Amino acid sequence: MSTATHSLPRTIGAHVVLLTYTVIALFPVIIVIMNSFKSRAAIFGAPLAPPTPNTFDLIGYTTVIGQGDFIHYFQNSLVVTVASLFFVLLFGAMAAFALSEYRFRGNSLMGLYLALGIMIPIRLATVAILQLMVMSGLVNTLTALILVYTAQGLPLAVFILSEFMKQVSDDLKNAGRIDGLSEYTIFFRLVLPLVRPSMATVAVFTMIPIWNDLWFPLILAPSEETKTVTLGAQLFLGQFVTNWNAILAALSLAIMPVLILYVIFSRQLIRGITSGAVK
């Protein structure tokens, strides 16, 4: 700690900045979770106070669980997020490999075309997407959401992954070719494990907007059968009366799955980094 680059005032300064940022970033989340355990009167009476034995109330959670379908909404959200994530990573990595590995006519144009989606928000095309889904009979199906989210996530995935795939040693791939491995084996067995940290990064970037999205579930799949958690939570937002206990409880619960996925991926991230360091 007492090396030239780590003087004490500097260390303290850095920690103060980082801790302040952490507090600011976590503040709304903590308020939500705290208030989800309080009675309605206490939420409005002292919104910043933590729950005490007097104000502690699980009414929010019992309402949410009691609403029966909520488990089902969770399931929908999870299916949509995991399936979209899977397709984004699979197709994104495959496209990135093709772009970085093979020389063909129009390679850079194709790369540009695939990256264009980063700059153009997919929501601009909502009307066209809705028409498309109506015509293909996919309205009110999870498939519709998975397709849209896959399209939404691919541009960034291709862009980031192709940069990383360019760094994978040519010699390694060529050694595989001389040993008679197919291009698919080279991709899945040699290249993918080496870009795992970047896959984890892409997974986190892709997953969170999908999980939190309200727009497409509302437009493409608002039926009771296909509601996602974010859409389901709207149930408690009335025009005149809002059930804050239930909303806060639903939001607190909605944080959990995405947090778990995040922990899984960041493990991968760290493991990828260390295995690279030892190699």
The smaller minimum CB distance to another protein, of residues 7 and 182, is found at: 182
Retrieve residue 156's tokens: 């960034």
Query: At closest approach, how far in Å is the CB of 110 from another protein?
Result: 17
Residues 6+ apart with CB under 8 A from 189: 181
Query: At closest approach, how far in Å is the CB of 230 from another protein?
Result: 40
Which of these segments, 13-21, 116-124, 172-180, 204-212, binds another protein (CB under 8 A)? 172-180
Query: At closest approach, how far in Å is the CB of 178 from another protein?
Result: 5
- C-alpha distance from residue 134 to each of 130, 141, 144, 220, 239 (Å): 6, 11, 10, 9, 29
The smaller minimum CB distance to another protein, of residues 82 and 190, is found at: 190
The smaller minimum CB distance to another protein, of residues 8 and 179, is found at: 179
Query: At closest approach, how far in Å is the CB of 200 from another protein?
Result: 18
The smaller minimum CB distance to another protein, of residues 80 and 192, is found at: 192
User: Could you tell me the maximum CA-CA distance found in the chain, to the nearest angstrom?
Assistant: 73
Retrieve residue 191's tokens: 């290249």
Helix (H) or strand (E) holding 56: none
- Single-letter amino acid, residue 162: S
The smaller minimum CB distance to another protein, of residues 88 and 199, is found at: 199
Residues 6+ apart with CB under 8 A from 54: 42
Which of these segments, 20-28, 167-175, 211-219, 259-267, binds another protein (CB under 8 A)? 167-175
Residues 6+ apart with CB under 8 A from 216: 126, 145, 148, 149
Interface characters, 174-203, with another protein (x: CB under 8 A): xxxxxxxx-------xx--xx---------
| Contact call for residue 275 and another protein (CB under 8 A) | yes
| Contact call for residue 273 and another protein (CB under 8 A) | no
Burial of 125 (C-beta count, 10 Å sphere; 0-12/13-18/19+): middle
Interatomic CA distance for residues 37 and 119, integer angstroms: 41
| Contact call for residue 274 and another protein (CB under 8 A) | no
Binding site for another protein (CB under 8 A): 169, 171-172, 174-181, 189-190, 193-194, 275, 278-279
